[in-house]
Structure 1
Amino acid sequence: MNCYECRSGGHTRPAVAVCHECGVALCGRHMYLDTQEVRGEAGLGKTTGDVPARSVLCSVCRHAERSVWPTSAPAQQSAT
C-alpha cells in the first residue's frame, strides 16, 4: 500500500501507518503521531488510564481535531 498524500502529489512512497480517524494510508513524512488519554466507565464516573495511547493522524483529521479540541502541546510529526 502506498501513501495517499504522496500519490496525490504525483509521487510513490510506501505507507507505514493508517490514519486513526479516516483510514487513509500514510508514509512517515505525512503522518502525525500524537497521544491521547484512554478513558473508561467506572461506576458513576469516568476513569483515565495512566499510560497514554498512540494515535496516528493525517493532516486533514489532525486539523479537524485541533479545531474542536485545541491542546497546548502540538502533535509530533514523524520524520523518515
Structure 2
Amino acid sequence: MRCYDCLQEERSDITGIGVCSRCGLATCESHARVRPVRVSHQNGLGAAHGTVPARRVVCHTCDTAETTP
C-alpha cells in the first residue's frame, strides 16, 4: 500500500508501514504517529488496567485532530 498523505503531496513512491486505527488510511513512517493505549480487562464487576501500555498507529491528520484543543 502507498501512504495516502504522500500521495496527496505527489510523492507516490512511499510505501505505507501501517494503517491508521482511526480513519483506516495507509500511512508511512514519516506521517505515522504511534501512541500508547491503556488496556483494560474485565475484573468481576469492574475493570482492571494493565501496567504495560499497548500501542496504536494513527496518521498525522487524525493525530492532529485528537490532540488539538
Sort the TM-score into its range (normalised by shorter chain): 0.7 to 0.9
Give the residue type in structure 1 aligned to 2:7: R
| TM-score normalised by the chain length of structure 2 | 0.85
Distance in 2 (CA, whole Å) between partners of 1:48 and 1:14 is 35
Percent identical pairs in the alignment equals: 37
| TM-score normalised by the chain length of structure 1 | 0.75
Unaligned runs of 5+ in 2: none
The aligned length equals 68
Q: Which runs of 4+ in 1 moved over 4 A?
A: none
Matches within 5 A, 1:1-80: 1-12=1-12, 13-67=14-68
Measured on the aligned residues, the alpha-carbon RMSD in Å equals 1.5
Distance in 2 (CA, whole Å) between partners of 1:33 and 1:8 is 21
More strand by proportion, 1 or 2?
2
